[in-house]
Structure 1
Amino acid sequence: MGSNAKQTKYIIVSGGVISGIGKGIIASSTGLLLKTLGLNVTSIKIDPYLNIDAGTLSPLDHGEVFVLDDGGEVDLDLGNYERYLSVKLTRDNNITTGKIYREVIDKERRGDYLGKTVQVVPHITNAIQDWVERVGNVSTSEDGRAPDVCIVELGGTVGDIESAPFIEAMRQFQFRVGHDNFCLIHVSLVPVVGAVGEQKTKPTQASVRDLRGLGLSPDILACRSAIPFEEGIREKLSMFCQVSPKQVFSVHDCESLYHVPILLRQQGIIDVLTERLKLNELKLSPEVRSEGESLWVQWSEFARRRARDLDVVNIAVVGKYTYLTDSYISVVKALEHAGLNVNRKVKISWVEASDLEEFSMHKDPLKYHEAWQHMCAADGILVPGGFGERGVEGKVLASKWAREHNTPYLGICLGMQVAVIDFARNVCGMTNAHSTEFREACEHPVVVFMPEIDRTTMGGTMRLGSRPTKFQDTEFARNSKAKKLYGGVEEVHERHRHRYEVNPEVVKELESKGLKFVGRDAETGERMEILELENHPYFVGAQYHPEYLTRPLNPSPVFLGLLLAASGQLDTYLSGGEIAKDVDTKLKM
């Protein structure tokens, strides 16, 4: 560790049997529980694919692309880490095979290896270890404290060819950092099969056997199952997987993902981690411990509220990837967080944007009518970001419907742009208004390509990362709903991911008819960042992606506004009044 006085402790989370069983949630929940002790926690996600980052991956193939403050386009699990741990990660917190090989090959080209034959072992495995150790010591918390614990999630499953170098690197890493600073959590599936619903332990036994064959022994087994452990299952797993019964945890399906930390805590995972990593030896101030205890109280209350029978608010989400909702996972979380902070349960009606388009274009009239039924029944409408022409006209129609029927509306990125297209066409008389992304030679280009963006490559060439937005010094902007929701500040920092923007040449005409751009970029003042419609209960567009900064206990302001408006509480909230109370608690905003 060189001159570092304090050794970071590492918790590795691996998976077995099948992928997609919740390693990210278990890793995030474990990190949250450590934070409730007052510890400072950071995280790393390892993805064994060859892509440099997630930016060019289809949302239908890999789920949402999550964007970080520094513009890193990363796996959606890093969004879970940021939300659970209240940290701000960087692109270095997401390791891919592509990044590691590029780093090693660049060194080889420079001659750093002095003529040696460059091999997976030791050069690739050393590069992985160096990366983990370097990033694991970088502060990602708001207070700037160095991490006490770094949680490393190994993507994929044990036994994958792609994962082999990372497994070997972690086998070596346990000796590099020492026994007391390395803990392995293995997440495995305990399926329920047969007519009587018997739980089977053989897949987990085989998975642990494979892991041991690769030189790693699990300290904790987190077993995913539809139901809690049946009698004798914990003991059986303990016996055949060579771990103590207290180190075997049942992570069964529960009320919500927010209950997973509660489930793990109730089974004693904090005691196991404290003993295994000697966490009691870490010197923490009483103030830090008190903050951790307070966090647990708030989290428990938040999860309890999620399980309550709250009034339902129906939000129609109009997109083009609606048959894989992981494509919009941050939007879903932002709606959940906002809803629970105003004591409402959000029911999302997924509307495929193309289903809203002209009836004659549809092969299936049933989908057309169902889509419009969802729109008519919605308490609020949300159009998230997206790329490509499919479904754009449907999104324009969704914006038009919300505008004309006084339905609360939130448009994000492309959702803001389609609101401009609708307004230009149907209010300003620009019949052929469109975005040059879809109609390069259109008569009225109201959305245009950003001048400094590189058209030659795809990866990492958008306007990415955290950028400042400044509220305008106009009477409408000073009193806008958006500014009030942000607490009356003059400037906000939000994360971007786009190549096109509102054409500044048409702004004056749009504003003269009532579509006000209350927020513009702080650098030039020529990029439209936040729009708001006059004389409407709530019609807001954001060029940035506010869903990336949502937190369970601190929801995104514009999502909060949508839920408040959809539940009829916005005016009361903005005037300083109290909003819906839970049965035995008073909401603190």
Structure 2
Amino acid sequence: MKYVVVSGGVISGIGKGVLASSTGMLLKTLGLKVTSIKIDPYMNIDAGTMSPLEHGECFVLNDGGETDLDLGNYERYLGVTLTKDHNITTGKIYSHVIARERKGDYLGKTVQIVPHLTNAIQDWIERVSRIPVDDTGLEPDVCIIELGGTVGDIESAPFVEALRQFQFRVGKENFALIHVSLVPVIHGEQKTKPTQAAIKDLRSLGLIPDMIACRCSEELEKSTIEKVAMFCHVGPEQVVNVHDVNSTYHVPLLLLKQKMIDYLHARLQLESIALTTEDIQRGAELLNKWKAMTGNFDASMETVKIALVGKYTHLKDSYLSVIKALEHSSMKVRRKLEIMWVEATDLEPEAQEAEKSKFHEAWEKVSTADGILVPGGFGIRGTEGMILAARWARENKIPFLGICLGLQIATIEFSRDILGMKKGNSTEFVENLAEEDQVVVYMPEIDKEKMGGTMRLGLRPTYFQEDSEWSKIKKLYGNASSVEERHRHRYEINPKLIKDLEENGLVFVGKDETNNRCEIFELKNHPYFVATQYHPEYTSKVLDPSKPFLGLVAASANILDDVLEGQFEFGSHGAEF
């Protein structure tokens, strides 16, 4: 097993996740099987109870693990399926060590950070790195390990020490370190001092970088690369210039151009890994598809405008998987994507009285958008604005996609306007809501006391109902009888209302295995009015876009029929993937 560690210095949020994912993707183009682990130094057990406005999106895995958003990057770029154990947090590690201490596993020893905690971290990495993550079912060849936070932070100290020890446990030829640093441009001059300081700190902790990835707003000058190399004790070929590009999907090609993969091939002695002709061919095909996909991105001319009506729009990372699923879909149909961010509260009548400019700006975006998307979320704030957006899409035949909360919102709107339930609402939003007004209810099996890990989580099946041949969403899924998608919710549509809703045109074309829980609805006689209780964005891949999102983007671009006819399949005349 080969290990590539990606760490960061100078500032957080420097792009370690994209660089780690891009490095893994390039290793896959060699025919290697690649897996990934994310280390998060926070004390939380997982990301499930963290505010999206503080931490960004909570990403959900097949096994129900609620993890850091970077695991979404790994799955999208690498085309793998990770587990909750691929996300290591300080909370998980301490809980693991304390549980062992309580069982007496340490035989009366004084339990310490070194060696007990650091050994537990190393054991965890070795165990998880060998878990098969693709359809081959084989053990991976390479594991990418991203160390979250910034080297030097007190929170990450045990993990840095564990990795220092780990390089000797696995051997020099099996361990490489890429350190991502910042080269700011001040008054037109590229400054290397922050990177020099970051590398000095890294070396003082016992970790020697094999490559330094310099993030910069512009392409690095040759003199800057030489200066970083000289003062950081590496060769110029070990300094990688990661400047701003059109999209993050161009980063793998940027790294490829600088022969990063050639250096890692020699440094890790990758020729020692036996590969079949099929492995090599599959890797070459992946690279060709990726190049064609980025070409599609650059060649896109016509714009499709999607209004994203949400409640966490002040931090775009709160909807990272949604953004990526929209990007994947727009690239496939060769359209330039414009996301029009709409804070849901700005659509509500109260906003007109408080701030007229925001109110009018929000409604201008909704009314001029080609399509409308209402994503997931929790709590009552902004829900009335979302309801108004859903009504606008339904009445004006604007393509619409609702996800999780979006499905519940659109059903509430339909119940109020079409079924006459003027006070219809969700029991999440209104305490002691009268039974006759309950459109959305708490799922009976969910624990109401504990918050963490108690939702309906992970990969679950949805079965398309009989007489749903007309359904656009079913056709997008290739007329499959069932699909498996990832869930994260506590509330559901009131089963008592299903009959009335369907008789009035809101058809639940997809239900769970009990045939009672609603998973997908679709409105008849509408260009595209679809909502899912699950989160399809979690399984969208760069080269295989999520079907509900693809439907929204295609319908918004007036090419849904072309997509359904297969004109934009990979390798067809419509697209050049």
TM-score (norm 1): 0.96
Residue aligning to 2:272: 281
| In 2, Cα distance between equivalents of 1:239 and 1:394 | 57
| In 1, Cα distance between equivalents of 2:210 and 2:570 | 43
- SS of the equivalent of 2:96 reads helix
| In 1, Cα distance between equivalents of 2:305 and 2:98 | 52
- SS of the equivalent of 1:525 reads coil
| In 1, Cα distance between equivalents of 2:300 and 2:537 | 25
Find the partner of 1:539 among 529, 532, 542: 529
Q: Is 1:517 matched with 2:505?
A: no
The one-letter amino acid paired with 1:565 is: A
The one-letter amino acid paired with 1:529 is: E
Residue aligning to 1:27: 20
Find the partner of 2:91 among 94, 98, 123: 98
| In 2, Cα distance between equivalents of 1:567 and 1:359 | 33
Residue 93 of structure 1: how far off its partner (Å):
0.3
Residue aligning to 2:125: 132
Residue aligning to 2:35: 42
Q: Is 1:556 matched with 2:546?
A: yes
The one-letter amino acid paired with 2:274 is: K
Residue 308 of structure 1: how far off its partner (Å):
2.1
Residue aligning to 2:327: 336
Residue aligning to 1:464: 457
Find the partner of 1:480 among 459, 464, 471: 471
Note closer, same or farther for the CA distance 1:361–1:442 as it changes in structure 2 (3 Å cut).
Answer: farther
- SS of the equivalent of 2:461 reads strand
Are 1:334 and 1:551, in contact at CA under 8 Å, matched by a contact in 2? yes
| In 1, Cα distance between equivalents of 2:371 and 2:253 | 32
1:341-420 map, 5 Å: 341-359=332-350, 362-420=353-411
What CA deviation, in whole Å up to 9, does each residue of 1:282-330 have, x standing for no partner? 1100111001000000001111111224200000000000111100000
Q: Is 1:587 matched with 2:575?
A: yes
Residue aligning to 1:256: 247
- SS of the equivalent of 1:134 reads helix
The one-letter amino acid paired with 1:56 is: T
Residue aligning to 1:3: none
| In 2, Cα distance between equivalents of 1:277 and 1:585 | 41
| In 2, Cα distance between equivalents of 1:138 and 1:324 | 34
Q: Is 1:60 matched with 2:49?
A: no
The one-letter amino acid paired with 2:559 is: Q
- SS of the equivalent of 1:370 reads helix
1:481-520 map, 5 Å: 481-520=472-511
What CA deviation, in whole Å up to 9, does each residue of 1:324-382 have, x standing for no partner? 11000000000000011011111000000011111566411100000100011000000
Note closer, same or farther for the CA distance 1:221–1:366 as it changes in structure 2 (3 Å cut).
Answer: same
Note closer, same or farther for the CA distance 1:110–1:362 as it changes in structure 2 (3 Å cut).
Answer: farther
Residue aligning to 1:573: 563
Are 2:348 and 2:385, in contact at CA under 8 Å, matched by a contact in 1? yes
Residue 507 of structure 1: how far off its partner (Å):
0.4
Q: Is 1:530 matched with 2:530?
A: no
Residue aligning to 1:269: 260
The one-letter amino acid paired with 2:272 is: E
Identity %, equivalent residues: 61
- SS of the equivalent of 2:282 reads helix
| In 1, Cα distance between equivalents of 2:540 and 2:569 | 20
Are 1:546 and 1:556, in contact at CA under 8 Å, matched by a contact in 2? yes
| In 2, Cα distance between equivalents of 1:577 and 1:187 | 41
Are 1:342 and 1:580, in contact at CA under 8 Å, matched by a contact in 2? no
| In 2, Cα distance between equivalents of 1:588 and 1:423 | 40
Residue aligning to 1:452: 445
| In 1, Cα distance between equivalents of 2:136 and 2:408 | 37
Residue aligning to 2:287: 296
- SS of the equivalent of 1:428 reads coil
| In 1, Cα distance between equivalents of 2:551 and 2:544 | 13
Q: Is 1:161 matched with 2:161?
A: no
Q: Is 1:204 matched with 2:192?
A: no
Structure 1: where are the runs of 5+ without partners? 1-7
Are 1:256 and 1:307, in contact at CA under 8 Å, matched by a contact in 2? no
The one-letter amino acid paired with 1:514 is: G
| In 1, Cα distance between equivalents of 2:49 and 2:569 | 42
Residue aligning to 1:242: 233
Q: Is 1:221 matched with 2:232?
A: no
- SS of the equivalent of 1:488 reads coil
Residue 219 of structure 1: how far off its partner (Å):
0.3
| In 2, Cα distance between equivalents of 1:57 and 1:247 | 37
The one-letter amino acid paired with 2:395 is: E
Are 2:567 and 2:574, in contact at CA under 8 Å, matched by a contact in 1? no
1:6-17 map, 5 Å: 8-17=1-10
The one-letter amino acid paired with 1:131 is: W
The one-letter amino acid paired with 1:153 is: E
Deviates more, 1:361-370 or 1:143-152: 361-370
The one-letter amino acid paired with 1:528 is: C
Residue 570 of structure 1: how far off its partner (Å):
1.2
Residue 439 of structure 1: how far off its partner (Å):
1.3
What CA deviation, in whole Å up to 9, does each residue of 1:29-63 have, x standing for no partner? 00000000000000000000000000011111110
Are 2:567 and 2:573, in contact at CA under 8 Å, matched by a contact in 1? no
Residue 585 of structure 1: how far off its partner (Å):
6.0
| In 1, Cα distance between equivalents of 2:216 and 2:411 | 47
Residue 231 of structure 1: how far off its partner (Å):
3.0
| In 1, Cα distance between equivalents of 2:332 and 2:448 | 42
Are 1:47 and 1:97, in contact at CA under 8 Å, matched by a contact in 2? yes
Deviates more, 1:142-151 or 1:20-29: 142-151
Are 1:406 and 1:536, in contact at CA under 8 Å, matched by a contact in 2? yes
Are 2:345 and 2:351, in contact at CA under 8 Å, matched by a contact in 1? no
Note closer, same or farther for the CA distance 1:146–1:465 as it changes in structure 2 (3 Å cut).
Answer: same
Residue 441 of structure 1: how far off its partner (Å):
2.7
TM-score (norm 2): 0.98
The one-letter amino acid paired with 1:210 is: D
| In 2, Cα distance between equivalents of 1:126 and 1:581 | 46
The one-letter amino acid paired with 1:480 is: S
| In 1, Cα distance between equivalents of 2:321 and 2:72 | 7
- SS of the equivalent of 1:294 reads helix
Residue 186 of structure 1: how far off its partner (Å):
0.4
Structure 2: where are the runs of 5+ without partners? none
Note closer, same or farther for the CA distance 1:511–1:101 as it changes in structure 2 (3 Å cut).
Answer: same
Deviates more, 1:563-572 or 1:462-471: 563-572
Residue 255 of structure 1: how far off its partner (Å):
1.2
The one-letter amino acid paired with 1:546 is: P
Find the partner of 2:114 among 121, 142, 148: 121
Residue 142 of structure 1: how far off its partner (Å):
1.8
| In 2, Cα distance between equivalents of 1:60 and 1:164 | 26
The one-letter amino acid paired with 1:536 is: H
Note closer, same or farther for the CA distance 1:144–1:579 as it changes in structure 2 (3 Å cut).
Answer: closer
- SS of the equivalent of 2:296 reads helix
The one-letter amino acid paired with 1:173 is: F
Are 1:569 and 1:579, in contact at CA under 8 Å, matched by a contact in 2? no
Are 2:568 and 2:574, in contact at CA under 8 Å, matched by a contact in 1? no
| In 1, Cα distance between equivalents of 2:296 and 2:324 | 15
Residue 412 of structure 1: how far off its partner (Å):
0.1
| In 2, Cα distance between equivalents of 1:579 and 1:123 | 54
The one-letter amino acid paired with 2:470 is: N
Aligned residue pairs total 575
The one-letter amino acid paired with 2:575 is: L
Find the partner of 1:180 among 138, 153, 173: 173
| In 2, Cα distance between equivalents of 1:511 and 1:190 | 58
Residue 440 of structure 1: how far off its partner (Å):
3.1
Note closer, same or farther for the CA distance 1:104–1:581 as it changes in structure 2 (3 Å cut).
Answer: closer
- SS of the equivalent of 1:108 reads helix
Note closer, same or farther for the CA distance 1:581–1:265 as it changes in structure 2 (3 Å cut).
Answer: closer
